[in-house]
């Protein structure tokens, strides 16, 4: 922080305010007038709050919009100038503040992480050995957990944070569609045991980030039962299928999970971020595991009943307002309204898949189960070529080239990536209710328009 | 979730919408009309967003208001009925949703926890032994950290979460004013070493929750230097004094800390929650410690520069919007505006202290350093009594009795608690800019009014 060379010391109250209050009651302590609230400051604060709210909304809305750019990248030195980061002695006028808001949003990375998986890992560990809470992990056999190679990066981050270590996250093989292979899971659990490690948790995924794959929960639950392992299901992305009677079979076996992470906002609640951790337990596990907090909150006022926070609650949220937001949305739209959203998103996905199959030059990576549609565009020059090394090498360059043209034209944003031996492909994730059939048609038309001379 | 017995299956699109779109282009997939966006659903969603925003604001504003009740307590069974928790197939009308919002707020516990201390602990651990990130804590000597007995409960919670264990949080003695005793810290560090444990972190507190005490940072920093320990300062509550040239001496030595947690909203930004973790480091510690996340965020689009997130940045926030909110507030009010708030809050505290000293029947626990004013009200019947066991036993009942009268009358809310051998006392925390001198006078008048017949 810098100070202007001509700045004054602490301001001795507000002159307007002094005029409002009869001078006989004015009280001055340490050079500060203490009568009445600081009304001017409050007005300024109100503006800041309003501006922030307005802009936050824009950020949140855009963050959940698949077609939005993740970031308008600028080098740090340029950002420093663009954003006018320096703090000054005096406040800035409203219009300047709004400009700053807009700039910050423009050049910020828009992301959300998920802490639900970490909370689940901590609960599983507590269940495995409650005394870890007091004693730590020192002197214990190496704890080990299992997840598929397609899982969310947050599992490694959580293992590192919880003192378990990233190397003790054991990756189970997946099949060609990205689903965990139960036989490989069981093999690796036995192997870990033989090495003297202590398996305690399996994290299955319902709806992987890239392919939208669903692990076979029922078979995985059998293995967890046999080995007394906690089954956590990361249904952050795929959990919304549970709202649809038509599509919930994707999560068959989820009732056997010990915990489930779910971000309903991804498909159900555009514009409202929400992440939930659902825990099945009738032994006060949550309370016992996190009781340091509970005892603090409830120590001061004796008329609180400490048992209030436990009992038959099965849904706990790491952030209370999240649970509240989802509850309100459910209340507002009803169960049928939420089901409609899921059905619509998956019907739109189906439409896109059918169009890709119909159109010349488009090729699906695989028949999707969910709303992640992965496909290649094969430009005319490659259509007659044999699918050998040269073909794949050339196809690998197509998606990046088309994306560059899209960005220059500003027509639309569509992600691409290589994945597990597949060369660069486009990935469209369909989220209801913002997109329509017309958007799907436009997407394919535009790719063809930009790529047909390649 | 329950379904109404007379509920329909998935709704086959919206009839209004079908009329808006020429029927020749209507596309039906899996029983869902895919033309155009779901406009009706969007309107409903907009309402939910607006209502939530409105109410959230009220929650946040009230949560930072010292005079607000923490919770309107009701037993679980009664809450179930009051809040109408059941989910239904169809959505509810706007006025009913607003009622629900109001009820939820009324019966909810309003709190905030702080994760900054946990992030700092993780960084300190990484600095101590980087390979813990991959290997975990298995086979290592017992890590141990030091904090004062007056510290925030979050240190124990963090130690448990990170696999260090609550028993490895070593509590250092405090003096009569609640300040950490440096000699006892050094003694306990030596003792831990002798026992074969591995000291790695000292967490000092600048502004304790109850007494508002400031640990002697300079002397603590000396000890940390001698023993190569990370110095973290929890300045969540007291950090705002740094904005005042008059009061920043309370945090003398803070420039020697490796990390500092600060919640500027507590004194500077009423109504806007914000928690920050400031880290002093020139070795890319944050990036290396949390790189699982960084590599995920930056892998997909090659035009991003991975070095963007590091460099000379010294402020990192666990939640980006928090940093943004504080930055905007600083921009809006200026350095002088923030300083003015701190000076005002501490001048008001001074005023309250002076009044307590002047008035008969009021007694300070101790001369406060900051904005936590702890005091007893001694009713007329006890004023002539000797300060022996009987006096303290009787005084212990006074604050709860007065508070009960306050609540029944609904005049004001004021916390009380016993603390380290002191019988129940009142604690007023003065936060600018909402309160004024008149509020301080009213507070003392009201206590006297309610307690003078005791």
Output phi, psi for A143, to 5 deg. -75, 145
d(CA A130, CA A148): 26
Output the pLDDT for position A276.
78
Find the mean pLDDT for residues B33-60. 55
- Cβ atoms < 10 Å from Cβ of B65: 16
Contacts of A272 in chain B (CB under 8 A): 45, 48-49, 52
Tell me how many helices (H) and strands (E) chain B has.
15, 13
Question: What is the rounded distance in angstroms from the CA atom of residue B436 to the CA atom of residue A35?
Answer: 6
Tell me the pLDDT tens digit for each residue of B204-249: 999 998 999 999 999 999 999 999 999 999 998 999 999 999 999 9
What single-letter DSSP state applies at residue B317? Answer: -
DSSP for B20-72 reads HS-GGG--EETTEE-SS--HHHHHHHHHHHHHHHHHHHHHHHHHT-TTS-S--
Give the integer Cα–Cα distance in Å for A242 and A279: 16
Strand A362-364 and strand A372-377: the pairing is antiparallel
Mean of pLDDT over chain A: 77
The number of C-alpha atoms within 13 Å of B13 and in the hemisphere containing its C-beta is 22
Q: Which two tokens stand for residue A280?
A: 């099945």
B121: number of Cβ within 10 Å: 26
Residue A48 has pLDDT above 80, yes or no: no
| Cβ-contact B109, B71 below 8 angstroms | yes
Measured between beta carbons, the chain B residues lying within 8 angstroms of A96 are 331
Strand order across the beta sheet in which B230-234 lies: B169-172, B143-148, B198-205, B230-234, B259-262, B276-279, B315-316
* Secondary structure of residue B188 in the 3-state scheme: helix
Q: Residues B415, B343: contact at Cβ < 8 Å?
A: no
Q: CB-CB: which of A30, A305, A334 is closest to B347?
A: A30
In total, the C-beta contacts within 8 angstroms joining chain A to chain B are 369
pLDDT at position B3 is 39
* B259: three-class secondary structure by DSSP: strand
Cβ of residue B56 closer than 8 Å to a chain A Cβ: yes
Quote the CA–CA distance of B31 and B81 in Å, as a whole number: 37
Q: Name the token pair of B109.
A: 């516990």
The torsion angles phi and psi of A410, rounded to 5 degrees, stand at 75, 20
Residue A44 has pLDDT above 70, yes or no: no
Q: What are phi and psi of A63, to 5 degrees?
A: -65, -30
CB of B197 within 8 Å of a chain A CB? The answer is no
* Six token digits for residue B161: 């979460």
Q: Which of residues 290-329 of B touch A (CB under 8 A)?
A: 290, 292-293, 295-297, 299-305, 308, 311, 320-321, 324-325, 327-329
C-alpha torsion sign, points B331, B336, B338, B340: negative
Kindly determine whether residue B337 and residue A38, on different chains, have CB atoms separated by under 8 Å.
no
CA of A300 vs chain B CAs: smallest distance (Å): 6
**Closest B-chain CA to A304:** B73
Please say whether the beta carbons of B206 and B369 come within 8 A.
Answer: no
Residue B69 has pLDDT above 90, yes or no: no
The 10 Å Cβ neighbour count of residue B77 is 9
Per-residue confidence at A25, pLDDT binned at 50, 70, 90?
low
pLDDT of residue A1: 37
Using a CB–CB cutoff of 8 Å, tell me whether A97 touches chain B: yes
Convert the pLDDT of each residue in A149-208 to its tens digit: 877 677 888 999 999 999 999 999 999 899 999 999 999 999 999 999 999 999 999 999
Of B163, B166, B350, the CB nearest to A30: B350
Express each pLDDT in A368-405 by its tens digit. Answer: 999 999 999 999 999 999 999 999 999 999 999 999 89
In this prediction, residue B276 has a pLDDT band, given cuts at 50, 70 and 90, of confident
> What SS3 state is found at B18?
helix
Option in A90, A134, A344 nearest B38 (CB) = A344
Q: Which chain B residue's Cα is nearest to A424?
A: B300
Query: What pLDDT does residue A300 have?
Result: 36
Reply yes or no on whether the pLDDT at B341 is more than 70.
yes
CA distance A139 to chain B (A): 6
C-alpha separations of A74 from A66, A84, A100, B307 in Å: 22, 14, 16, 12
User: Which residue in the block uniquely carries the two structure tokens 């038309």?
Assistant: A445
Residue A435 has pLDDT above 90, yes or no: no
Structure tokens at B208: 């304790």
B418 lies within 8 A of chain A by CB: no
User: Can the peptide bond before residue B249 be classed as cis, meaning omega within 30 degrees of 0?
Assistant: no
Helix, strand, coil content of chain A in percent (nearest 5): 50, 15, 40
Task: Please check the confidence at residue A5 and state whether its pLDDT lies above 50.
Answer: no
d(CA B406, CA B206) in angstroms, rounded, equals 32
B348 touches chain A (CB under 8 A): yes
């Amino acid at each position: 922080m810098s100070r202007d060379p001509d700045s004054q010391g602490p301001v001795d109250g507000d002159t307007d305010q002094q005029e409002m209050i009869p001078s006989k009651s004015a009280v001055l302590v340490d050079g500060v007038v203490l009568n009445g609230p600081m009304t001017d400051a409050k007005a300024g604060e109100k503006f800041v709050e309003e501006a922030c709210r307005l802009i936050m909304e824009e950020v949140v809305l855009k963050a959940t919009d698949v077609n939005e750019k993740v970031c308008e990248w600028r080098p740090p030195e340029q950002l420093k100038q663009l954003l006018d980061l320096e703090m000054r002695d005096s406040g800035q006028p409203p219009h300047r503040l709004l400009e700053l808001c807009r700039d910050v949003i423009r050049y910020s990375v828009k992301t959300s992480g998920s802490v639900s998986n970490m909370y689940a890992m901590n609960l599983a560990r507590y269940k495995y050995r409650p005394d870890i809470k007091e004693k730590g992990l020192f002197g214990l056999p190496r704890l080990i957990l299992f997840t598929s190679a397609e899982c969310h990066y947050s599992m490694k981050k959580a293992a590192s944070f919880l003192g378990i270590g990233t190397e003790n996250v054991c990756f189970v093989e997946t099949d060609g569609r990205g689903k965990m292979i139960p036989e490989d899971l069981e093999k690796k659990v036995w192997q870990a045991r033989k090495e003297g490690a202590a398996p305690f948790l399996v994290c299955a995924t319902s709806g992987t980030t890239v392919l939208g794959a669903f692990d076979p929960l029922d078979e995985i639950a059998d293995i967890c039962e046999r080995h007394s392992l906690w089954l956590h299901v990361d249904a952050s992305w795929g959990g919304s299928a549970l709202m649809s009677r038509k599509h919930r079979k994707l999560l068959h076996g989820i009732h056997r999970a010990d915990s489930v992470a779910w971000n309903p906002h991804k498909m159900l609640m555009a514009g409202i971020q929400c992440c939930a951790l659902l825990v099945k337990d009738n032994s006060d596990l949550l309370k016992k595991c996190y009781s340091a907090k509970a005892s603090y909150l409830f120590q001061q006022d004796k008329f609180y009943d400490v048992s209030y926070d436990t009992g038959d609650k099965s849904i706990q949220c790491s952030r209370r307002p999240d649970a509240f937001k989802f509850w309100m949305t459910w209340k507002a739209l009803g169960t049928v309204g939420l089901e409609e959203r899921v059905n619509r998103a998956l019907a739109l996905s189906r439409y896109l898949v059918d169009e890709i199959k119909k159109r010349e030059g488009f090729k699906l990576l695989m028949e999707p189960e969910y709303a992640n549609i992965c496909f290649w565009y094969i430009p005319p020059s490659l259509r007659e070529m044999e699918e050998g090394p040269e073909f794949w090498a050339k196809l690998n360059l197509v998606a990046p080239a088309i994306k560059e043209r899209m960005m220059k034209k500003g027509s639309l944003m569509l992600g691409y990536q290589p994945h597990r031996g597949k060369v660069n492909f486009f990935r469209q994730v369909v989220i209801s209710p913002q997109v329509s059939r017309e958007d799907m048609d436009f997407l394919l038309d535009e790719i063809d328009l930009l790529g047909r001379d390649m």
